Chain A
């Protein structure tokens, strides 16, 4: 088991973000975190990355509890929902800085495939503040894959990407899955989830309502379109 989450709870003041989420995530698959807005998806991801401290529960990464640890992040590539970078930094400098900071994470084997396929090199001289939202997303995606980590956490990866770039990214996700990685994505676009994901973890009000393979969901409901299948399933749950 790569990631084992048990009974994760988090409150921001009175607002409950997570109320006892438990999930087991294995290597070699794409898991989609799906759920309505404010259902705790981003909080869950931030807990996984140690950016938010959970009030209760455990996250075990590759057999080790992540509480008080940072070294497990060597095996995680993270693409935030909105990539924000130092305004005055040039893109090329950002990449060389990140490579420098993560030098020990790989044996010099960086995965620069996305930088090339997004054609980012020709924008290396531009400062980050001058980039469009979509270009920043491309930078975030390239940074997430850069160190060839076992686990990729992508928060709404294709939101804001042009169709071409979004296709490149999806191909990359599938390729990395085949090489045995765990990819955790959040998305609101069901057709996209259907395309890339194997399993869905459905979060509602900070709880995992269900955690099933897409094939199982479709078989259970008799629907061929994932969006419709989910709709059925959720209506039954009510």
Chain B
């Protein structure tokens, strides 16, 4: 498997799209830091950018790369290599390179300009988000037969997690506003990795007061050490579960 990771990395580092991704992230992060006097304000603007861009690029890049390396995967399957190893090799190759891109584009500027716990939480959330959407991309790619459908499914997933889910959440909260919803909201938040990433960062920013009563409940739950552990574990589950399902499907898939 290590060898497969090595060859995938070798291939991806020649990819110009990944370089463009690093530059885009670096420009937006250093731009926001330089334009704003208040570092925490820049960080919260950067959070908005990150929550949109990182999932989108991670899921699209992975899906496109997966289908572009379909030939490579087929070639490997005719060799005495287990399918699970092949797919996880490709996963770690892509995941690792996206993480490296994220740390170069956002990690370095954040550490240089900020360097506080908030900054580290920000980077942790971004890294987890990268891996979550790489896993979701694998899930979408294994389910579909061709590139177009794969990309379509991936885009739908991204839309769902960044836009539709929050809409549904708002609808639920509005419709049931007469009832105590705090516990339910915490549970519902766990169903969306993007919201979890947002909370991981926001709660360290002392602006949870702006989120009203629910914010206070969130702060109580996620702000405590245990809540952080829960949030991170749920994010990790979002990394592992789609990947494991993808592996199981791929093991039985006809090529």
Contact = CB atoms under 8 A, between A and B. Distances in A.
Interface of A: 12, 46, 49-53, 70-74, 76, 78, 80, 84-89, 97-98, 100-102, 105
Interface stretch (B32-40, B79-87, B203-211): B79-87
A53 B254 contact: yes
B71 A84 contact: yes
Given A73-B79, A73-B80, A78-B78, A88 B14 contact: yes
Contact of A86 (B3, B72, B83, B252): B72
Interface of B: 3-4, 7, 11, 14, 68-69, 71-72, 74-83, 252, 254-255
Residue of B72, B74, B82, B254 ringed by the most chain A CB atoms within 10 A:
B254
Contact of A46 (B68, B69, B72, B255): B255
A186 to B, nearest CB: 15
Counting from the closest, the 4 A-B pairs by CB-CB distance are: A84-B71, A73-B80, A52-B254, A78-B78
B255 A52 contact: yes
B3 A85 contact: no
B11 A73 contact: no
A49 B77 contact: yes
Contact of A101 (B14, B81, B255): B81
Contact of A70 (B7, B75, B80, B252): B80
| Majority secondary structure of chain B interface residues (helix, strand, loop or mixed) | helix
A86 B71 contact: yes
Contact of B80 (A85, A100, A105): A105
Given A85-B75, A86-B11, A89-B11, 8 more contacts: A12-B254, A53-B254, A70-B81, A78-B78, A84-B71, A88-B11, A98-B79, A100-B3
B22 to A, nearest CB: 19
A98 B14 CA distance: 20
Nearest to A47: B254
B71 A50 contact: no
Nearest to A94: B75
Nearest to A50: B77
A48 to B, nearest CB: 10
